[in-house]
Amino acid sequence: MADGAAPLAPEAVTAILRHMNGDHAADCLRIVQGLGARPDATEASMSGVERDVAVFDAVVPDGSIEVRIPWSEPIAERAQVRTEVVQMYEESCAILGVAPPAAGDH
């Protein structure tokens, strides 16, 4: 595996991206705005899952950019991604000063 390469099978990465961008597009945007330090982003989608970072494509006033946000620990298996994304989302809400939805509302 090359440095930074996805540690997961391509099918797993495809499924994660489909789920995040289909069911959690607003969460991707919130993560980019908060942890990605781009509060000016108006759109975002997850475009990659690498060992050390989640990769997002975002639309900002200057155009489209790639935003790379580190995981709290290297990803070794698919189950870690969900935990990491939830943590990223909650941290982003805190940074932006917004309350995350109540459990079950998300």
| CATH 3.20.180.10 given to domain 12-96 | yes
What's the distance, CA 103 to chain centroid?
Answer: 19
- 15, 75 contact by CB (below 8 A): no
| pLDDT tens, residue by residue, 21-74 | 999 999 999 999 999 999 999 999 999 999 999 999 999 999 999 999 999 999
Where do the domains of the chain lie?
Answer: 12-96
Q: Is the pTM of this model over 0.85?
A: yes
Confidence of residue 101 (pLDDT cuts 50, 70, 90): confident
> What pLDDT is attached to residue 23?
95
- Please report the beta strands in 1-106, taking only residues with DSSP state E, as ranges in sequence order: 43-49, 53-60, 63-70
Residues with Cβ within 8 Å of residue 89, at least 6 apart in sequence: 27, 30, 31, 100
